[in-house]
Structure 1
Amino acid sequence: MDLRFPLYVGYRYWRARKANAFASFITLFAVSGIFLGVAALIVVSSVMNGLEGQLKQRILGAVPQLTVYTKAPLSDWTIAAEKLTMLPGVQGVTPSVSTQAMVQSAANIRAVQVFGVFPELAEKLSAVAQHTYSGAFSELTSGQYQVILGSELARQLKVSPGDTVRLLSGDGVVYSPLGPVPSQRKFLVSAVFEMGSQVDAGVAYVHYQDAKRLMRQPSDEINQLRLYLNDPFTAPALAKDVQQILTAQGIEATTSDWRDTYGHLFSAVKMEKNMMSLMLSLIVAVAAFNIVSALVMMVVDKTTDVAVLKTQGLRTSAVMGIFVVQGLLNAVLGLALGLVVGILITLNLNGLMATLGISILGAGQMLPVKLALGQLSLIIVGTLVVTLVATLYPALRAARVQPATALRYE
């Protein structure tokens, strides 16, 4: 079918002044709805993307993203590490150990997750090393029993670098006539880190060998490997490849990832993100289907014209194309305005809020914003598809016009 004639006539009808003022109002309302819906969808989606990315950095950068547990101690962990590092998306692999413990100061006592690391390896890969104050991972020395605490945990314990705390681990329990006695040892607070998330209140780092001694285990045995990933969300997919590589080397192992501890949080964020996108998409859908009303009125208004065109030999598909073009032009206009305004607002959101004196997160806090090209493409395609579907009924109605009936009284 030659599209030039339907495009030409549809464009002329679209530009022409509407004889029906109410149809013009409905068209304006539909275009405005698409414009506002697309702009709001871009802004809200970008903020939700930024929030998810910030949580990923601040939480998953401090906790194990993917951990391998071997049934037997590794004779040479570097061989397995070299194989695992070759997997796509893996930044590095280090030995690790963790234990649930209580940390006690002179002022308070709190539960904490203690991670034992080799500082010279973890400092290159862990995001915590980049957010550490009053010291660094490299200062952790085996046998010195030093600990790095989260800033909120240090505040609750009322300690600072140079103070002493006591760690009590349930993994090193011994039984005495008085009952089970947990393993405990005094540690010197060498530094404080701040990730700006709930991790600051429940995580501590010590040297790997000190952690093993606290747990009353041989300090030279390595049973866990911690994988640092470019994208923590790829951990479930990588876990299968990790097990295949270790199995090929004759190593029996299991894996766990960040979903075991923080999966519920990110599931809630994802659900909220999807629900917000759905609600705003309904605005676009309602606006798109307002085009149905405007086009039906246009079909009624142009019934005589359509009948004349059909007597001149215009095909049914070409008649449909005329009204589809009108609906799509309305959608493209609203979509283009929504994209421009939505992107401009997104890129300057924090500046606009500061100018208007609006502070959602508190003084000095900025909304995280991340504009995703993939989502923009989805918004564009989705809007055009919904609008195309909305134009089909009026177009079919125009195509069914019978010239003899329409021109009977003309």
Structure 2
Amino acid sequence: MRIFSMPELMDTHFPSRPCIIENLLPAGTYLLAGAPKIGKSFLVLQMAYQVSAGEPFLGFPSRQGTVLYLALEDTYERLQKRLAQMTERDSPDLVLSVLADTLEEDLLELMDTHFPSRPCIIENLLPAGTYLLAGAPKIGKSFLVLQMAYQVSAGEPFLGFPSRQGTVLYLALEDTYERLQKRLAQMTERDSPDLVLSVLADTLEEDLLEQLESFLFEYPETVLVIIDTLQRIRGRTPDNGSYAADYDTIAKLKAFSDQRGIALLLVHHTRKEGAEDVFDTISGTNGILGAADGALVLHKDKRTSGDAILDVVGRDQPQIRLRLRFDPTHSLWQVTEVETEPFREPPNPLLEFLSRLVNEENPLWSGTATELVQCLSEIDSTQAFSPNWIVRALNVRQDDLLRKYGIRYGSRRTKDGKVILLRWEGVR
């Protein structure tokens, strides 16, 4: 044990420990706490970048230096997109990782990396990832997810939002095949061969993930898996109901959806007790929403009413509120009002120019970023794109390029450097 007398203590020179952020964050260990999906990750990424760049944070001067950000609930793709929205200037002193035991990316490497495209399953409503759909019992959740399952599998809009057509697996674990048959007959007269349904599945403690893995192997075009309900696949463990147990359950499912690039929607219940924030009514601890990528909460002012509200929040989209009305004749929910308009990316001139370079008449282009700059300058000499900016813009906006202009972006390394590949596939 080290001890000081008061005279010795007062005469000792200790090393200086200046604040990291003046009047806000001294050296030491601190907590940043907040409800799930309230914006904490945006705030700490902003802090990490601005401190590493020596910029003020929220108006408070910062001490410039290397910053390590362990974003253990995020993906590199999401970090790349957020940083591209946040700044156009790199900070070589920001180091990021999504794995605690591996330090993988500095900011320059991250922004120059081309990740596989993961387009939204339902535009502005359901990206790839793991999401909750919560609501009171018998409020209409199962009708809503069956409608979603059918319309996505058929490539139809869902509640007015465009969907990405693909195979959908709907595990209706509280239903019967007879009930599903009757509801689908009311909903549509057209079959969808890409909708697969089951009323049986193992729990997580058993072989659920192996079953899902086998299904994806047999149906590689799968874009969405719906599990109705979460409780049916949780099993029973002694610590169910604890934050750790709730978080671990969702984290296992999230790891599966992230690795496969699909959307996984978990139907869940809300509590009887109300709350000022509708997302606080989701049954269980904050570990459920905290581990998930987002949530949709369906709720009514009156249970007997045919009108309902669908609130949506998530890591990859702004909060949206939709007012819905149920059509009992066709067993369909319909939008009556979009109370919060979804965020739309500002137009990007690069994508428009690329659509003039690569299209139905000229479906293929490949070359270096420098060669692409030369091609674009021939189309419009007034535009000044740099090779570095083009690569980063393509990395971040590749989903928009494919969805809006039908152009798929890829890249490969050769002995001469990185080659950009652009292929026209047509707008679906």
TM-score by length of 1: 0.23
In proportion to residue count, which structure has more helix? 1
Higher relative contact order (CA 8 A, sep 6+): 1
Q: Which has the larger radius of gyration?
A: 1
TM-score by length of 2: 0.22
